Amino acid sequence: MRTSWGSATDTGRVRALNEDALLAYPPVFLVADGMGGHDAGDVASRTVVDEFGRLAGRPSVTVDEVHDCFERTGRVLRGMFDDGRTAGTTVAGVAVAAHDGESYWLVFNIGDSRVYRLVAGELEQISVDHSVVQELLDAGELSAAEAAASPQRHVVTRAVDSTAVPDPDYWMIPAGHKDRVLVCSDGLTSEVDDRTIGDVLRSYPDPQEAAQALVEAAVRAGGRDNVSAVVVDVAMAARSADTDQTVPSQGRASAMPDDLEDETLPRPPRDEVTR
Ligand code: MG
Protein backbone atom coordinates (compact mmCIF):
# COMPACT_ATOMS: atom_id res chain seq x y z
CA MET A 1 0.00 0.00 0.00
CA ARG A 2 1.38 3.36 -0.97
CA THR A 3 1.03 6.15 1.56
CA SER A 4 1.77 9.85 1.55
CA TRP A 5 1.85 11.90 4.72
CA GLY A 6 2.56 15.15 6.44
CA SER A 7 3.28 16.16 10.02
CA ALA A 8 3.49 19.28 12.16
CA THR A 9 4.11 20.08 15.80
CA ASP A 10 4.21 23.28 17.84
CA THR A 11 5.07 24.15 21.44
CA GLY A 12 1.97 26.34 21.59
CA ARG A 13 1.61 29.70 23.32
CA VAL A 14 1.90 28.72 26.97
CA ARG A 15 4.32 25.84 27.50
CA ALA A 16 8.07 26.42 27.58
CA LEU A 17 8.94 23.01 26.14
CA ASN A 18 7.47 20.82 23.44
CA GLU A 19 7.14 17.42 25.12
CA ASP A 20 5.22 15.95 22.18
CA ALA A 21 7.18 13.78 19.79
CA LEU A 22 6.08 12.25 16.54
CA LEU A 23 7.19 9.57 14.14
CA ALA A 24 6.04 9.68 10.53
CA TYR A 25 7.97 7.05 8.68
CA PRO A 26 6.22 4.20 6.86
CA PRO A 27 4.86 1.90 7.96
CA VAL A 28 4.51 3.68 11.34
CA PHE A 29 2.86 7.01 12.12
CA LEU A 30 2.45 8.07 15.74
CA VAL A 31 2.25 10.87 18.25
CA ALA A 32 3.56 10.65 21.83
CA ASP A 33 2.60 13.28 24.41
CA GLY A 34 5.12 13.23 27.24
CA MET A 35 4.21 13.83 30.88
CA GLY A 36 6.42 14.35 33.89
CA GLY A 37 8.43 16.90 35.81
CA HIS A 38 11.44 18.74 34.44
CA ASP A 39 12.46 17.25 31.12
CA ALA A 40 11.08 13.80 31.88
CA GLY A 41 8.05 14.00 29.59
CA ASP A 42 10.29 15.03 26.76
CA VAL A 43 12.55 12.03 27.38
CA ALA A 44 9.58 9.66 27.58
CA SER A 45 8.03 10.76 24.29
CA ARG A 46 11.38 10.69 22.50
CA THR A 47 12.00 7.18 23.82
CA VAL A 48 8.77 6.11 22.08
CA VAL A 49 10.05 7.52 18.78
CA ASP A 50 13.41 5.77 19.23
CA GLU A 51 11.82 2.39 19.97
CA PHE A 52 9.04 2.50 17.34
CA GLY A 53 11.57 3.89 14.86
CA ARG A 54 13.04 0.41 14.67
CA LEU A 55 10.00 -0.56 12.57
CA ALA A 56 10.62 2.23 10.06
CA GLY A 57 11.27 1.12 6.50
CA ARG A 58 9.51 -2.23 6.75
CA PRO A 59 6.72 -3.03 4.26
CA SER A 60 4.27 -3.78 7.09
CA VAL A 61 4.20 -4.73 10.75
CA THR A 62 2.34 -7.12 13.04
CA VAL A 63 0.54 -6.49 16.32
CA ASP A 64 3.28 -8.41 18.13
CA GLU A 65 5.97 -6.17 16.67
CA VAL A 66 4.12 -3.04 17.73
CA HIS A 67 3.46 -4.48 21.17
CA ASP A 68 7.17 -5.26 21.52
CA CYS A 69 7.86 -1.55 20.93
CA PHE A 70 5.49 -0.64 23.76
CA GLU A 71 7.14 -3.16 26.09
CA ARG A 72 10.67 -2.02 25.19
CA THR A 73 9.69 1.60 25.77
CA GLY A 74 8.29 0.69 29.18
CA ARG A 75 11.49 -1.19 30.12
CA VAL A 76 13.68 1.72 29.00
CA LEU A 77 11.62 4.19 31.06
CA ARG A 78 11.61 1.96 34.14
CA GLY A 79 15.40 1.68 33.85
CA MET A 80 15.89 5.39 33.28
CA PHE A 81 13.60 6.61 36.06
CA ASP A 82 14.36 4.22 38.92
CA ASP A 83 15.40 7.09 41.21
CA GLY A 84 11.98 8.17 42.46
CA ARG A 85 11.21 10.41 39.52
CA THR A 86 8.41 9.30 37.24
CA ALA A 87 7.91 9.89 33.57
CA GLY A 88 5.31 8.79 31.12
CA THR A 89 3.81 9.42 27.74
CA THR A 90 0.74 8.76 25.71
CA VAL A 91 1.16 6.94 22.40
CA ALA A 92 -1.41 6.90 19.61
CA GLY A 93 -0.79 5.87 16.07
CA VAL A 94 -1.36 3.74 13.05
CA ALA A 95 0.83 1.23 11.26
CA VAL A 96 0.36 -0.49 7.94
CA ALA A 97 -0.34 -4.18 8.45
CA ALA A 98 -1.04 -6.93 5.92
CA HIS A 99 -3.20 -10.04 6.08
CA ASP A 100 -4.04 -12.40 3.20
CA GLY A 101 -2.71 -9.89 0.68
CA GLU A 102 -4.92 -7.07 1.96
CA SER A 103 -3.70 -3.91 3.68
CA TYR A 104 -4.95 -2.89 7.11
CA TRP A 105 -4.56 0.01 9.48
CA LEU A 106 -3.25 -1.30 12.74
CA VAL A 107 -4.38 1.42 15.15
CA PHE A 108 -2.87 1.53 18.63
CA ASN A 109 -3.48 3.74 21.62
CA ILE A 110 -2.58 4.30 25.22
CA GLY A 111 -3.63 7.59 26.84
CA ASP A 112 -5.54 10.47 25.30
CA SER A 113 -3.80 11.24 22.04
CA ARG A 114 -6.13 10.19 19.24
CA VAL A 115 -6.48 8.44 15.90
CA TYR A 116 -9.24 9.55 13.54
CA ARG A 117 -10.16 8.38 10.06
CA LEU A 118 -11.80 10.41 7.33
CA VAL A 119 -13.79 7.94 5.26
CA ALA A 120 -16.13 9.09 2.48
CA GLY A 121 -15.74 12.62 3.83
CA GLU A 122 -16.92 11.67 7.33
CA LEU A 123 -14.64 11.97 10.34
CA GLU A 124 -14.70 9.10 12.81
CA GLN A 125 -12.68 8.73 15.97
CA ILE A 126 -11.12 5.27 16.09
CA SER A 127 -9.17 5.32 19.33
CA VAL A 128 -10.89 5.58 22.70
CA ASP A 129 -9.24 7.83 25.28
CA HIS A 130 -7.88 6.36 28.47
CA SER A 131 -8.98 9.29 30.59
CA VAL A 132 -11.07 10.07 33.65
CA VAL A 133 -13.44 12.06 31.47
CA GLN A 134 -13.91 9.18 29.01
CA GLU A 135 -14.77 6.88 31.91
CA LEU A 136 -17.36 9.38 33.17
CA LEU A 137 -18.76 9.70 29.63
CA ASP A 138 -18.98 5.91 29.32
CA ALA A 139 -20.79 5.76 32.65
CA GLY A 140 -23.27 8.40 31.49
CA GLU A 141 -22.19 10.75 34.27
CA LEU A 142 -21.02 13.52 31.93
CA SER A 143 -22.36 14.99 28.70
CA ALA A 144 -19.97 15.69 25.81
CA ALA A 145 -20.19 19.43 26.58
CA GLU A 146 -19.44 18.85 30.27
CA ALA A 147 -16.53 16.60 29.31
CA ALA A 148 -14.98 19.29 27.13
CA ALA A 149 -15.06 21.76 30.03
CA SER A 150 -14.12 19.35 32.82
CA PRO A 151 -11.06 20.26 34.88
CA GLN A 152 -10.15 16.55 34.73
CA ARG A 153 -10.06 16.44 30.94
CA HIS A 154 -6.28 16.07 30.85
CA VAL A 155 -6.06 13.30 33.45
CA VAL A 156 -5.14 10.03 31.74
CA THR A 157 -5.81 6.61 33.24
CA ARG A 158 -3.25 4.71 31.17
CA ALA A 159 0.15 5.63 29.73
CA VAL A 160 3.53 4.17 28.92
CA ASP A 161 5.38 5.12 32.06
CA SER A 162 8.19 4.33 34.45
CA THR A 163 5.99 2.44 36.91
CA ALA A 164 4.07 -0.34 35.13
CA VAL A 165 3.95 -2.59 32.07
CA PRO A 166 2.02 -0.72 29.34
CA ASP A 167 -1.47 -1.90 28.35
CA PRO A 168 -2.34 -0.39 24.96
CA ASP A 169 -5.49 -1.03 22.90
CA TYR A 170 -5.41 -2.18 19.26
CA TRP A 171 -7.81 -2.04 16.33
CA MET A 172 -7.32 -3.70 12.93
CA ILE A 173 -9.23 -1.90 10.18
CA PRO A 174 -9.26 -2.72 6.45
CA ALA A 175 -7.62 0.18 4.59
CA GLY A 176 -9.77 1.89 1.99
CA HIS A 177 -8.28 3.37 -1.19
CA LYS A 178 -9.27 6.92 -0.24
CA ASP A 179 -8.70 6.79 3.50
CA ARG A 180 -7.11 9.67 5.33
CA VAL A 181 -5.93 9.04 8.90
CA LEU A 182 -5.16 11.70 11.49
CA VAL A 183 -3.02 11.05 14.56
CA CYS A 184 -2.91 13.94 17.03
CA SER A 185 -2.11 14.95 20.58
CA ASP A 186 -4.73 16.39 22.93
CA GLY A 187 -3.27 19.84 22.29
CA LEU A 188 -5.27 19.69 19.04
CA THR A 189 -8.49 18.13 20.29
CA SER A 190 -8.73 20.33 23.39
CA GLU A 191 -8.56 23.49 21.25
CA VAL A 192 -10.39 22.48 18.06
CA ASP A 193 -13.65 20.53 17.89
CA ASP A 194 -14.21 17.49 15.69
CA ARG A 195 -16.35 19.42 13.20
CA THR A 196 -13.50 21.85 12.54
CA ILE A 197 -10.96 19.02 12.33
CA GLY A 198 -13.14 17.37 9.68
CA ASP A 199 -13.48 20.66 7.76
CA VAL A 200 -9.71 21.17 7.70
CA LEU A 201 -9.03 17.59 6.62
CA ARG A 202 -11.53 17.98 3.75
CA SER A 203 -10.11 21.38 2.72
CA TYR A 204 -6.45 20.47 2.20
CA PRO A 205 -5.75 17.64 -0.26
CA ASP A 206 -2.03 17.78 0.56
CA PRO A 207 -1.37 15.93 3.85
CA GLN A 208 1.47 18.26 4.87
CA GLU A 209 -0.73 21.32 4.38
CA ALA A 210 -3.54 19.60 6.30
CA ALA A 211 -1.25 18.79 9.26
CA GLN A 212 0.09 22.34 9.36
CA ALA A 213 -3.38 23.86 9.11
CA LEU A 214 -4.61 21.75 12.03
CA VAL A 215 -1.68 22.72 14.25
CA GLU A 216 -2.05 26.39 13.30
CA ALA A 217 -5.78 26.25 14.13
CA ALA A 218 -5.00 24.90 17.62
CA VAL A 219 -2.36 27.55 18.27
CA ARG A 220 -4.73 30.28 17.04
CA ALA A 221 -7.46 28.94 19.34
CA GLY A 222 -5.22 29.39 22.38
CA GLY A 223 -2.32 26.97 22.06
CA ARG A 224 -2.50 26.09 25.77
CA ASP A 225 -0.70 22.78 25.19
CA ASN A 226 1.85 21.34 22.82
CA VAL A 227 0.08 20.33 19.62
CA SER A 228 1.01 17.68 17.08
CA ALA A 229 -0.68 16.21 14.02
CA VAL A 230 0.26 13.51 11.52
CA VAL A 231 -1.93 13.09 8.44
CA VAL A 232 -1.61 9.89 6.40
CA ASP A 233 -3.28 9.27 3.04
CA VAL A 234 -3.60 6.14 1.02
CA ALA A 235 -2.18 7.31 -2.28
CA MET A 236 -3.53 6.12 -5.60
CA ALA A 237 -2.08 2.73 -6.49
CA ALA A 238 0.90 3.17 -8.79
CA ARG A 239 1.07 1.23 -12.05
CA SER A 240 3.31 -1.69 -11.21
CA ALA A 241 5.91 -0.86 -13.90
CA ASP A 242 6.21 2.64 -12.43
CA THR A 243 6.33 1.64 -8.82
CA ASP A 244 9.97 2.28 -8.15
CA GLN A 245 9.98 5.50 -10.12
CA THR A 246 7.22 6.93 -7.96
CA VAL A 247 9.61 7.00 -5.01
CA PRO A 248 11.43 10.32 -4.96
CA SER A 249 15.13 9.68 -5.29
CA GLN A 250 15.86 12.38 -2.75
CA GLY A 251 16.21 10.86 0.68
CA ARG A 252 15.65 7.35 -0.58
CA ALA A 253 19.02 6.09 0.63
CA SER A 254 18.40 7.49 4.10
CA ALA A 255 15.16 5.54 4.25
CA MET A 256 16.97 2.22 4.19
CA PRO A 257 16.82 0.30 7.46
CA ASP A 258 20.64 0.16 7.81
CA ASP A 259 20.72 3.86 8.51
CA LEU A 260 18.10 3.73 11.21
CA GLU A 261 20.61 2.98 13.95
CA ASP A 262 21.55 6.64 13.93
CA GLU A 263 20.34 8.55 16.95
CA THR A 264 18.67 11.10 14.75
CA LEU A 265 16.10 9.51 12.53
CA PRO A 266 16.69 10.75 9.01
CA ARG A 267 13.83 12.70 7.52
CA PRO A 268 12.21 10.36 5.03
CA PRO A 269 10.76 11.26 1.65
CA ARG A 270 7.10 12.17 1.98
CA ASP A 271 6.07 9.56 -0.52
CA GLU A 272 7.00 5.98 0.01
CA VAL A 273 5.94 2.71 -1.56
CA THR A 274 5.18 0.00 0.92
CA ARG A 275 4.21 -3.43 -0.26
MG1 MG B 1 -0.92 17.25 25.62
The string of pLDDT tens digits covering residues 39-75 is: 799 999 999 999 999 999 999 999 999 999 999 999 9
pTM to 2 decimals? Answer: 0.86
8 Å CB contact between 211 and 232: no
235 Cα: distance to centroid of ligand 1 (angstroms): 30
| Distance from the alpha carbon of residue 258 to the mean position of ligand 1, in angstroms | 33
Give the Å distance between the CA of 257 and the centre of ligand 1.
Answer: 31
- Under a CB-based contact definition with an 8 Å cutoff, are residues 259 and 16 in contact? no
Residue 258 has pLDDT above 80, yes or no: no
Lowest mean pLDDT segment, chosen from 100-109, 172-181, 214-223, 234-243: 234-243
CA–centroid distance, 167 to ligand 1, in Å, is 19
Would you say 114 and 183 are in contact if contact means Cβ atoms under 8 Å apart?
Answer: yes
- DSSP conformation letters of 153-212: TT-BS--EESSS----EEEEEEPPTT-EEEEE-HHHHTTS-HHHHHHHHHH-SSHHHHHH
For the stretch 176-212, pLDDT in tens is 999 999 999 999 999 999 999 999 999 999 999 999 9
The residues pairing with 2 across neighbouring beta strands, listed in sequence order, are 273
Q: How far, in Å, is the centroid of ligand 1 from the Cα of 33?
A: 5
Under the banding of pLDDT at 50, 70 and 90, the label for residue 114 is: very high
Q: Which of 62, 68, 112 is CA-nearest to residue 92?
A: 112
Report the separation in Å between the CA atom of 255 and the middle of ligand 1, taken as the mean of its atom positions.
29
Q: What are the distances in angstroms from CA 67 to CA 63, 98, 162, 243, 258?
A: 6, 16, 17, 31, 22
Pairing of strands 87-99, 160-161: antiparallel
Q: Of 14, 1, 2, 5, whose CA–CA distance to 218 is shortest? A: 14
Which chain residues have CB less than 5 Å from ligand 1, an ion?
Answer: 33, 185-187, 225
The yes-or-no verdict on residue 262 having pLDDT over 90 is no
CA of 254 to the centre of ligand 1 (A): 31
CA of 91 to the centre of ligand 1 (A): 11
How many Å lie between the centroid of ligand 1 and the Cα of residue 223?
Answer: 10
**266 contacts: CB under 8 Å, gap ≥ 6:** 251, 254, 255, 259, 260
Q: Residue 8 Cα, ligand 1 centroid: separation in angstroms?
A: 14
